[in-house]
Chains A and B, each alone.
Chain A
Amino acid sequence: AQSVTQLGSHVSVSEGALVLLRCNYSSSVPPYLFWYVQYPNQGLQLLLKYTSAATLVKGINGFEAEFKKSETSFHLTKPSAHMSDAAEYFCAVSNQAGTALIFGKGTTLSVSS
């Protein structure tokens, strides 16, 4: 069965610093992976998705993620954090039937000035 594990429930960075949010997946078939962001009191918004076309995926707001099969990882990065990046981030993987997403428990990103 597919699953994702997000390492670190809370990450704090300074404005301008590198953002690294970690996600490892478990899948018996080639995975379809996603990163979503949730701002306070809002629903989730898609940041980016991996569908096997390219291992480095660029998303919105300057975020990108690299698929590494050897490490079963799909970590999210951004070179320079902005205050507006403070939010909760979820990694997700599609189930085999394509009928649902399986979400990680989320990582809250705090950005200080």
Chain B
Amino acid sequence: NAGVTQTPKFRVLKTGQSMTLLCAQDMNHEYMYWYRQDPGMGLRLIHYSVGEGTTAKGEVPDGYNVSRLKKQNFLLGLESAAPSQTSVYFCASSYGQTFNQPQHFGDGTRLSIL
């Protein structure tokens, strides 16, 4: 079982460059999430989606865009990368609402912006 797969696993960018992080899940989950993890900060929600074609802002959405054109994929875009976006990015998915449905996480994308 693949579960949640994130691509790429590592990336180094220069300030101002753009890139897209891909998240794919094979569990037929409705909900998908993008988080960033920084030392001492825990995980902070960037954007999330409650179904195909829907997206919503989380706690720290500035500088990021997302798309959910297919149920199994959730893309995170950085239009003009900044050093403050250096982080580890995690994608997660869940069958339904977070009241009683656990989130399943990918292994992360480590992004450095110089």
Q: List residues of A whose CB falls within 8 A of some B CB.
A: 9, 32, 34, 41-46, 49, 51, 90, 94-95, 97-106
Contact = CB atoms under 8 A, between A and B. Distances in A.
Contact of A105 (B4, B31, B41, B103): B41
A44 B105 contact: yes
A9 B31 CA distance: 30
Contact of B42 (A42, A43, A95, A104): A104
A101 B103 contact: yes
Interface in B20-69: 31, 33, 40-45, 48, 50, 56, 58
A41 B48 CA distance: 23
B62 to A, nearest CB: 17
Given A44-B105, A45-B105, A90-B42, A99 B90 contact: no
Contact of A43 (B50, B97, B102, B108): B108
Please classify the interface of chain A as helix (H, G, I), strand (E, B), loop, or mixed, using the class held by over half of its residues.
Answer: loop
Interface residues of B, number: 26
B98 interface: yes
A55 B32 CA distance: 29
Which has the most chain A C-beta neighbours within 10 Å: B43, B50, B56, B106? B43
B7 to A, nearest CB: 14
Nearest to B33: A100
Contact of B56 (A32, A99, A101): A99
Contacts of B108: 41-43
